[in-house]
Amino acid sequence: MSHDDSSTPAIVSLLAGGIAGAVEATATYPFEFAKTRVQLREQKGVPTPRNPFLVVANVYKTEGLAALYKGCSTLAVGSVAKDGIRFLSFDYVKETFKDPETDTLTPLRSLGAGMMSGIVASLLAVTPTERMKTALIDDARTEKRFRGATHAVVTVWKEHGILGLYRGFAGTTLKQAGATAFRMGTYNILKDYERTRQIPQTVVTNFANGCVAGIVTTLATQPFDTIKTRCQSSQGASTVEAFKSIIADYGMKGFWKGTSMRLGRTVFSGGILFTTYEWAAALLNPAFAKAKQKVPI
């Protein structure tokens, strides 16, 4: 978003966001896998280590490299839709909210724009893909009845209907609304601050801003993420049941289970996501501008 946001066509926001989402999800998936494993209920006699690198190493030794990417295709496809929709809706809402004189948003309006785009993304893309990703990871360590992502979707649909794909919608939407508010909002606040101070926008500043946004997002929204994971396990649970089970298993500190794993991912994912978005948008903008000029009026 260091480029001129007002000149970014909707199709560029959508495509650049989708590309960024796919790259980010694939590059950081082992951390997402480790975080999800930790948040699911432990098997008796098999305690889960807290160190994300240890979780990844143990799974690699016992189950192989393929196990670390269980559910990755579902998340990657979902991330294309999620981040495409998220950047598109954020850019649209931001244009509506911004002060036309300063061409910037207040910090509160930046957070509000991010929250609205998070709700839209949760409804249209995030909840069903997160549900299937979590179910695949949980199933791989317990019943092993899903043969793959497609088989998991078909099985859940047959057993529970469309509501089965939206299991954990409340927790996911709360998480997405909060996460997108803090991630997109923090990034936009930093960019506006840098613009007013005439700080050059480079790959380094984009990556650093994304990392900061990732840290803020993780610390602010971890409880929602833990509840969502419990809701979306292979057996499933309501938001209330998930809340109660976390309290019963770990007490209040259980809501912050997997924070170190998620930080390991979101710090880098924020940097990767926004840097890739800026690169893709800068690449696509001239291409679409040229194409538009060639279209006869």
Integer Cα distance of 228 and 52 in angstroms: 19
CA 234, 237, 242, 244: dihedral to nearest 10 degrees?
-130
pLDDT digits (tens, 9 = 90+) for 11-50: 999 999 999 999 998 888 887 787 777 777 666 556 666 6
pLDDT for residue 295:
47
Integer Cα distance of 246 and 238 in angstroms: 12
Give CA angle at 44 (31, 145), nearest 5°: 65
Sequence ranges of the domains in the chain? 5-282
Q: Does the reported pTM lie above 0.85?
A: no
CA distances from 122 to 117, 174, 177, 241, 287 (A): 9, 9, 8, 21, 30
pLDDT digits (tens, 9 = 90+) for 148-181: 888 988 998 999 898 888 888 887 888 888 888 9
Spatial CA neighbour of 98 closest among 109, 82, 85, 84: 109
Contact by Cβ (8 Å): 233, 41: yes
pLDDT for residue 4:
46
Handedness of CA 160, 241, 219, 254 (dihedral sign): negative
Phi-psi region of 167 (alpha: psi -120 to 50; beta: other; left: phi over 0): beta
Q: What is the CA radius of gyration of the chain?
A: 20
* Residues above pLDDT 70, as percent of the chain: 89
Domain 5-282 of CATH type 1.50.40.10:
yes
pLDDT digits (tens, 9 = 90+) for 104-134: 788 888 889 889 998 998 888 888 888 888 8
Other Cβ atoms within 10 Å of 145 Cβ, number: 10
46 backbone dihedrals φ, ψ, rounded to 5°? -125, 75
Does 296 score more than 80 pLDDT?
no
pLDDT digits (tens, 9 = 90+) for 179-205: 889 999 999 899 989 988 889 989 999
Integer Cα distance of 271 and 187 in angstroms: 10
Helix, strand, or coil here: 168? coil
Contact by Cβ (8 Å): 229, 176: no
Average pLDDT of the residues in 224-232: 82
Q: Which residue is it, tokens 């069903």? A: 128
Q: How confident is the model at residue 234 (pLDDT cuts 50, 70, 90)?
A: low
pLDDT for residue 215:
92
